[in-house]
Structure 1
Amino acid sequence: MRKIEENIFKVLMILSTIMISSTLFMILYTIFSKGIGSLSWDMVSKIPEGGFYIGKGGGILNAIVGSIYITIGSTLLGLLISLPIVIYINVYAKRNATLASITRLSYDILFGIPSIVYGAFGFAIMVYMGLKTSLLAGIITVTLMIIPILVRAIDEVVRVVPEDMSNAVFALGGTRYETAKIILRQSIPGIITAILLSFGRAIGDAACVLFTAGFTDSIPTSLDQPAATLPLSIFFQLSSPIQEVQNRAYAAAVILTIIVLIINIVAKIASKNLSKNKI
């Protein structure tokens, strides 16, 4: 009987793996088969010209640069906010302290809130403060969205670090600050994974920046100017009834997929190398 149950679960796991792998393959096949033919150097090196969204010339350089600006800015800002929170609830606060438990519960709730809600919240703040759609507003809103991802992911990694390591530092006369540095150094591969997750969420989200970053055919040169993003560029082009424009949308999706793939590869290599150098 036990052998039968084991075989049943083994078959289910194999089927699940095949289903997930097939889904990924179909997504990539659809995007590349429809978009690779429209992919050109002009797509990645030029901003949209007049009539771009009805089939005329130009490219999506504005959306590529805008996405990179917002994603890097929000990821760095989110990391600067998330790390102190994780350090406090794991090093400075007592284990299973009420404040730490409430903090974790709060970020669990925030993690599940849809991105469109963050976009609406960011828009409400902009209206209240009299701000306009801009690169800065997009960065702030996306930062709010990815902070729960960073906190949850980094917190889980830090909690895996053996408690004996902290006790050993304290036994040697180390301070909590020195303990935090050692714990963070041990958690670097996991922190990189958390950054990767937040980066992928930030660069691929459209709803969060729809009301806050705006959209423009130009490349922003300051924080108070609107910024285009790849997800919104894909959305606007897919909304067109012109087949050529729709194919360009799939080409933009190919570019977005390649960017995420490059970030994944770089993060994997960095995480592997840093893991070898941990103390």
Structure 2
Amino acid sequence: MRKTEENIFKFLMILSTIIISSTLFMILYTIFSRGVGSLSWDMISKIPEGGFYIGKGGGILNAIIGSVYITLGSTLLGLLVSIPIVIYINVYTKKNSLLANITRLSYDILFGIPSIVYGAFGFAIMVYMGLKTSLLAGIITVTLMIIPILVRAIDEVVRVVPEDMSNSVYSLGGTRYETAKILLRQSIPGIITAILLSFGRAIGDAACVLFTAGFTDSIPTSLDQPAATLPLSIFFQLSSPIQEVQNRAYAAAVILTIIVLIISIAAKIASKNLSKNKI
């Protein structure tokens, strides 16, 4: 009976792996087969020229730079908010206290809210405060969306650090602040993984920035100017009835995929190196 049960679950795991791997391969094949042929240096190094969205010259440099600005800004801002929250509920409150549990439940709920809701919320705040679509509005809205990801991911990593380590610090006369530093040091590989998850969510989201960051054919030079993003650029090009423009959308998707791949590899290398040099 146990052997049969084990074989069933083993079969289900293998089947799930095959399905997920096949789906990933099909997505990558579709993107690269239709997009690589439309990739060019002009597309990467130039902003859209007149008539770009009807098949004429130019590129998507504005969307690439805009996505990087919004993603880096929101990730850094999200970390500044998330890490103190995680430290407070793991160091400055009692383990599994009511406050800590309510905080975790709240972020679990926020984690499941669709990005379009964050976009609508950010737009409502902008209207109330009399702001316009801008790079700053996009960064703030995306930050609100990824904070739950960062908090819950970092929290889970910090919680698996052996409790004996914290007790050792206290026994040596260490303060809560010093304990928090050691916990963060031990959790660096996991924090990098959390950053990667939030980065991927931020750079690939279109609904969240649709109402807040706006869209422009130029590169923003200040926080109060609108900013284009790769997901919106892909969306607008795919909406075109012109086949050449649709192929450019797939080329933009290739660029977005390569950016995420580079970040993933860099994070993996950094995590591996840092895990060797913990305390």
Deviates more, 1:10-19 or 1:231-240: 10-19
User: CA offsets per residue over residues 49-80 of structure 1, 9 Å max, x none?
Assistant: 00000000000000000000000000000000
> What percent of counterpart residues are identical?
92
Deviation, structure 1 residue 12: 1.3
3-state secondary structure, aligned to 2:215: coil
Deviation, structure 1 residue 9: 1.4
Deviation, structure 1 residue 86: 0.2
Unaligned 5+ runs, structure 2: none
Partner of 2:259: 259
3-state secondary structure, aligned to 1:241: coil
User: CA offsets per residue over residues 102-160 of structure 1, 9 Å max, x none?
Assistant: 11111000000000000000000000000000000000000000000000000000000
**How many corresponding residue pairs?**
279
User: How far apart, in 1, do the equivalents of 2:43 and 2:97 lie?
Assistant: 53
Deviation, structure 1 residue 228: 0.0
* TM-score (norm. length: structure 1): 0.99
RMSD: 0.5
Deviation, structure 1 residue 10: 1.1
User: How far apart, in 2, do the equivalents of 1:158 and 1:95 lie?
Assistant: 12
Deviation, structure 1 residue 275: 0.2
User: How far apart, in 2, do the equivalents of 1:149 and 1:2 lie?
Assistant: 38
Deviates more, 1:8-17 or 1:254-263: 8-17
User: How far apart, in 2, do the equivalents of 1:161 and 1:74 lie?
Assistant: 27
Stretches (4+) displaced over 2 A: none
User: CA offsets per residue over residues 80-117 of structure 1, 9 Å max, x none?
Assistant: 00000000000001111111111111100000000000
User: How far apart, in 2, do the equivalents of 1:259 and 1:160 lie?
Assistant: 31
User: CA offsets per residue over residues 37-59 of structure 1, 9 Å max, x none?
Assistant: 00000110000000000000000
Deviates more, 1:6-15 or 1:221-230: 6-15
Deviation, structure 1 residue 271: 0.0
Deviation, structure 1 residue 261: 0.1
User: How far apart, in 1, do the equivalents of 2:6 and 2:118 lie?
Assistant: 44
Deviation, structure 1 residue 23: 0.3
User: CA offsets per residue over residues 146-181 of structure 1, 9 Å max, x none?
Assistant: 000000000000000011100000000000000000
User: How far apart, in 2, do the equivalents of 1:3 and 1:107 lie?
Assistant: 40
User: How far apart, in 1, do the equivalents of 2:16 and 2:219 lie?
Assistant: 43
* TM-score (norm. length: structure 2): 0.99
Matched, 1:236 2:236: yes
User: How far apart, in 1, do the equivalents of 2:3 and 2:77 lie?
Assistant: 52
